[in-house]
Amino acid sequence: MSELVESETSPLGQPRSGGPVAMRLENVAVSFNGRTAVRDATFDVTKNRVTSLIGPSGSGKTTLLRALNRLHDLTPGAKVSGRILLEGTDIYRGNITVTELRSRVGMVFQRPNPFPTMTIYENAVSGLRFNGIKKKAILDEAAESSLRAAALWDSVSSRLKVTAGQLSGGEQQRLCIARALALDPEVLLMDEPTSALDPIATLHIENLMTTLKSRVTIIIVTHNMQQAARISDDCAFLLMGEDRAGELIEFDATEKIFNNPADSRTLDYTLGRFG
Amino acid sequence: MMNVAGLAPTPDTGHELRAEIRRTSQNARARRVLVSRVMMTLCAVAITLAAVPLVMLIFELLQKGIPVLDTTFFLKEPQSPTLLSPNATGGVSNAIIGTLALSIYASIMAIPVGVLAGIYLAESDSKLASVLRIVSQTMAGAPSILMGLFAFSFIIQDLHIGFSALAGSFALAVLMLPVIAISTEISVRNVPQTLREAGLALGAKPHKISLKVVLPTALSGIVTGVILAISRAIGETAPVMLVIAGGYTDSWKPLDPVSALPLTIFMNAKSEWPSLRAQTWGIALVLVAFVFVLSLTARIWASRKQKVGN
């Protein structure tokens, strides 16, 4: 394995809640053309909890998140080392295909990106269709239940046949959440899902996350510390090191990270002294 | 005079400076307004100069073209005027059908290959792709008579297929190919990366993303490029004049000799019969109408694209 991974086992990797583990990260590092972007990420993501990744720009939050469903695969020169386990299976080397992984680990992006040529309905079921599901009954049911889960059904059920571009930004983002939920994933990755939205739409999405966690484990990258404090149960704090590579500083229950962190840099950051 | 530190009044210098700034900027503004007026006038003159020949051309086209348009013009095959009936020109149905047939066959050949090539250029980073890109850019700028020469030597001399619609549409297809490939490449590249990522994150295989996400999103741009390529090909004389033999009869058959509107303009304009020379304007008007309708369609498609892309 790569020399980027430090052999020393970090004490950070203990599950904090004691609950079952959805994803385990062991010394995960991501590099692009030999330059390390993030390293030392070791922590457990507990099932049915919201885990947030916080830290200033350049600390590698998004890079780390994208490694969790192998979105770096298509980037030339990208290399992920360490181990990422989904239910005990190594997602890079284990017995799991990348398409299966991505249907089990969904993703919502920073800017709403519904497919512009598809209708609301087609967007909601696009993941199922990509994975070969054609039966109309299944698609219809999945469309309704995922749109309901994304708190969008009531406002769009009468116009499922219009193109997704006609929805507002917040609705588009909830459609993207519905699209990911339709595959019934175990884990949902969210990359600053509210950064392009207004406060009301943000509130909708935040409330949604709190209700959704009973059915899906959520990992969210956020710039907004209040958001992390409000919605997440566990929190990973990352910081850019001296060589400009992001590294995990501290992982703990959100309450501990914000009130009584082990590392003084975490305290400085959460108090807004930098970043 | 003694001043208490910090309370020293410096009103005069401050006011003078401010007045100086005001004065200078006032002058500068006046100068800019003048320059701006002069430039606007020059622009108006320039646009008039550019518009005058165009307006004259359209005026002349309508004035001379409309009178020769009648049912004979559209529905009858051409005749040779004689000294006894110098106005018996017949119609140009052969050229109208020929132009339609040529563009349809050329489209059938060029669109699938051009679109697929464009997708390949957009999606591949290989050496082959960059070579092909340079080739198609060069081809797009090549003089169109070259396509005629190539069709002549390849279709007629090498393959021994006679002077025909097929040979002509082959030449036009070669002409359209790079235009379609380049516009397809641009449209496909313009599809936001985030949409591809969204597809990937849903577990879609790359070819599914190309087919179900990228292509539909790029479609209006691709269609616009195709229509512009057709409207360019429709007006070309050079590539077809060497290979279609200017047939005088109506025929949709690919292997028959056909005529084309631009070619008929070229032939009639040289004629010693005034009636045939007069007919030229009608043909030109029909050709311009064809191209106009195609460009309009392209514009409508392009605006559709903007609506979808928001």
Q: Model confidence at A97, in pLDDT bands (50, 70, 90)? A: very high
Q: Work out the mean pLDDT of chain A and round it to a whole number.
A: 89
Q: Cα(A262)–Cα(A252) distance, rounded to whole angstroms?
A: 9
pLDDT at A54 over 90: yes
Q: Please count the residues of chain B.
A: 310
Confidence of residue A9 (pLDDT cuts 50, 70, 90): very low
Q: Which residues of B243-280 are buried (b: 16+ CB within 10 A; e: fewer)?
A: bbbbbbebbeebebbbbbbbbbbbbbeebebeebebbb
- From the list A106, A109, A116, the residue facing B217 with the nearest CB is A116
Alpha helices in chain A (DSSP H): 61-67, 98-104, 120-130, 136-149, 153-156, 169-181, 199-212, 225-231, 254-259, 264-270
Would residue A109 count as lying in a domain? yes
Nearest by Cα to B233 from B289, B159, B177? B177
pLDDT computed for residue B78 by the predictor: 83
Is the alpha carbon torsion for B211, B217, B218, B221 positive or negative?
positive
Mutate which of A117, A122, A191 to disrupt the B interface (most B C-beta within 10 Å)?
A117
What are all long-range contacts of A12-16, with beta carbons under 8 Å and residues at least 24 apart? A12/A42, A12/A43, A12/A248, A12/A250, A12/A251, A13/A42, A13/A43, A13/A44, A13/A251, A14/A44, A15/A44, A15/A46, A16/A44, A16/A46, A16/A234, A16/A251, A16/A252, A16/A253, A16/A256
Phi then psi dihedrals of residue B90, to 5 deg: 70, -160
Contact at 8 Å (CB) between A106 and B201? Answer: yes
Q: Rounding to the nearest 10 degrees, give the CA dihedral for residues A238, A242, A244, A246.
A: -20
Query: CATH number, domain at A81?
Result: 3.40.50.300
A157 belongs to a structural domain: no
Q: How far is CA B128 from CA B120, B132, B134, B135, in A?
A: 10, 6, 10, 10
Distance of residue A170 Cα from the nearest chain B Cα, in angstroms: 15
Q: What's the average model confidence in pLDDT over A219-227?
A: 92
Contact between A176 and B198 (Cβ < 8 Å): yes
Interface of B with A in 5-44 (CB under 8 A): none
pLDDT at site B154: 87
The encoded tokens of residue A263 equal 């590392």
Q: Does the distance separating the beta carbons of A69 and B197 come in below 8 Å? A: no
Distance from CA of B194 to the nearest CA of A (A): 7
Backbone conformation region of residue B213, classed left if phi is above 0, alpha if psi is from -120 to 50, else beta: alpha
Enter the ipTM. Answer: 0.83
Closest in B197, B208, B308 to A116, CB measured: B308
Average pLDDT over residues A243-256: 92
Cα–Cα distance list, A188 to A107, A169, A275, B21 (Å): 6, 20, 26, 61
State the pLDDT at residue B301. 78
Q: CA-to-CA distance for B178 and A261, rounded, in angstroms?
A: 62
> With contact defined as beta carbons under 8 Å apart, do B299 and B105 qualify?
no
Torsion of CA A203, A205, A210, A216, to 10 degrees: -170
What contacts B188, CB < 8 A, 6 or more positions away? B118, B119, B122, B123, B214, B215, B218, B222
pLDDT tier at A8 (50, 70, 90 boundaries)? Answer: very low
At residue A191, what is the residue type? D
The answer to whether residue A183 is domain-embedded is no
| Chain B residues touching A102 at Cβ < 8 A | 200-203
Contact yes or no for B194 and A109 at CB 8 A: yes
What are B2's two structure tokens? Answer: 């003694």
With respect to residue A73, please indicate whether it lies within any of the assigned structural domains: yes
CA-CA distances (angstroms) from residue B2 to A158, A211, B147? 83, 75, 93
In a domain, A237, yes or no: yes
pLDDT of residue A69: 92
The residue of chain A with its CA nearest to that of B208 is: A130
- Confidence tier at A17 by pLDDT (50, 70, 90): low
Average pLDDT over residues A174-201: 93
* Amino acid A3: pLDDT: 40
A221 forms beta bridges with A53, A191
Rounded to an integer, the average pLDDT of A39-54 is 94
Q: What is the pLDDT of residue A1?
A: 40
Query: Is A117 a residue whose pLDDT tops 60?
Result: yes
CA–CA min distance B124, chain A (Å): 13
- Kindly state the helix (H) or strand (E) to which residue B150 belongs, with its residue range: helix B145-151
Structure confidence at residue A254 as a pLDDT band (50, 70, 90): very high
Number of domains making up chain A:
1
Enumerate domains of chain B plus CATH numbers. Answer: 93-308 (1.10.3720.10)
Q: Is A106 on the interface with B (CB under 8 A)?
A: yes
| Predicted local confidence at residue B142, as pLDDT | 87
Name, in order, each residue with C-beta under 8 angstroms of B51's C-beta and a sequence gap of 6 or more: none
**Both tokens assigned to B164:** 């025909």
Instruction: Name which of B202, B209, B308 to mutate to probe chain A: the one with the most chain A Cβ atoms within 10 A of its Cβ.
Output: B202
Q: Determine the residue of chain A that is closest to B202 in CA distance.
A: A127
Angle between helix A169-181 and A136-149 (nearest 10): 130
| Residue (of B171, B211, B176, B163) closest to B191 by Cα position | B211
A71 vs B201, B216, B310: nearest CB: B201
Structural domain contains residue A6? no
Asked if A79 and A31 count as a contact pair (C-beta separation under 8 A), the reply is: yes
Q: Is B221 on the interface with A (CB under 8 A)?
A: no
Any domain includes A133: no
Q: How confident is the model at residue A253 (pLDDT cuts 50, 70, 90)?
A: very high
Domain that holds residue A195: 11-113+189-270
pTM, entire model: 0.75
Ordered per-residue pLDDT tens for chain B, 310 residues: 444 555 555 556 678 889 889 999 999 999 999 999 999 999 999 999 999 999 999 999 999 989 888 887 888 888 787 888 777 788 888 888 889 999 999 999 999 999 999 999 998 888 998 999 999 889 888 888 888 888 888 888 888 887 888 888 999 999 999 999 999 999 999 999 899 999 999 999 888 898 899 988 998 889 989 998 998 888 888 888 888 777 777 788 787 878 888 888 898 888 888 888 888 999 999 999 999 998 888 888 777 655 444 3
Which residues have C-beta within 8 Å of that of residue B104, sequence separation ≥ 6? B169
Number of Cβ within 10 Å of residue A14's Cβ equals 12
CA distance B264 to B175: 20
Query: Does A151 fall in a domain?
Result: no
Best of A130, A133, A171, A183 to substitute, by most chain B Cβ atoms within 10 angstroms, is A130
